[in-house]
A and B are shown apart, each in its own frame.
Chain A
Amino acid sequence: DAGITQSPRHKVTETGTPVTLRCHQTENHRYMYWYRQDPGHGLRLIHYSYGVKDTDKGEVSDGYSVSRSKTEDFLLTLESATSSQTSVYFCAISESTATNEKLFFGSGTQLSVL
């Protein structure tokens, strides 16, 4: 299995507080992604990165920011959490930018905003 770790695995927070989720990889893959999973919606892309300090928005980026200061780490920040951001968050890494034949996923973070 690919070396990809998400932390924390579970988090409960209050509305209005900042939250940071971390994705760490040991595969040296260029592409990293953050998705959220909600019932009836599948997985929706929040942000992705194609290199250190190179990021772009996905389809549901409002309310989220990301940073990638090192190849191995991709951080997702909710500046002021809202109840609509209660979700399961997945990080993924891609082994190839030319073909993107596969994505490897982390184990997910269950975030509850009360």
Chain B
Amino acid sequence: GQSLEQPSEVTAVEGAIVQINCTYQTSGFYGLSWYQQHDGGAPTFLSYNALDGLEETGRFSSFLSRSDSYGYLLLQELQMKDSASYFCAVRAYSGGYQKVTFGTGTKLQVIP
């Protein structure tokens, strides 16, 4: 089976930097995605890492270490609108298909 772990809640100050960690256990690993979901809204795709290293997209960056089964999402210059839940999701080969399994999410609260 597959399992993912991420903190349930994180609080950070506006303008600061916050890191949301994700550890996973799976076989047939392909890559790690990150999604953002505002309260009452739908998840939206943020980033994907298939190889080790850092991927940067504006204020958001995502990191992957395949050897450590670990990744993180880094949010810089935090804004109030970044308050949302963030999900990591593992893409892995299972039963003939590449399946995606979501973590339970990290609720980020940005405070003034």
The answer to whether A and B come from one shared complex is no
Q: Which residues of B contact A (CB under 8 A)?
A: none
Q: Which residues of A contact B (CB under 8 A)?
A: none
